[in-house]
Amino acid sequence: MKFFICIGALILSQTAGVADTPLKVESPWVFAVPPGANDTAAFMTLVNMGSVPLRVTGGRTEAARRLAPMITTKEEGRMGMKDVKYLEVPAGGRLILAPGGDHLMLYGLRKPLTAGEKIPLVLALEPGGTLTVEAVVAKRAPKE
């Protein structure tokens, strides 16, 4: 049943406008950080039901000044972060954004976040379109 819904959605998504996309998002959440913190990170599972790779190039959110894709690096035992131009989800595949890996950084929080609050994130996609997700603020990764 799910399979037919997916196929149906896929077909519909090809005929619909720029707003629709074969990208699905599961369990989006944002790290709750202490009141003095300026930045935080958003995590989620991106599922690409389409036949071409999709890239998340950034986007925007009311909650922060900037939403940017980042990867986690590990060099000589040190962990760090690096800006990247996009995060790519393979065709028919998925990309998991999680602490210690790829994520979307929220730079410059406009106000402190409260655990349980829902933050809308508008993801900018390549080759086109946007996708709005509601990420829940949490102190720990939500259990699957």
- Chain centroid, CA 47 distance in Å: 10
Among 73, 85, 128, 142, binds other proteins (CB under 8 A): 73
116 binds other proteins (CB under 8 A): no
User: From the list 2, 17, 76, 111, which residue makes contact with other proteins (rule: CB under 8 A)?
Assistant: 76
Among 15, 35, 111, 144, interactor with other proteins by CB under 8 A: 35
- The DSSP annotation for 38-95 comes to --EEEEEEEEE-SSS-EEEEEEE-TTEEEEEEEEEEEETTEEEEEE-S-EEE-TT-EE
- Near other proteins by CB under 8 A: residue from 10, 16, 52, 81: 81
Binding site for other proteins (CB under 8 A): 31-41, 72-73, 75-81, 99-100, 103, 105-106, 139-140
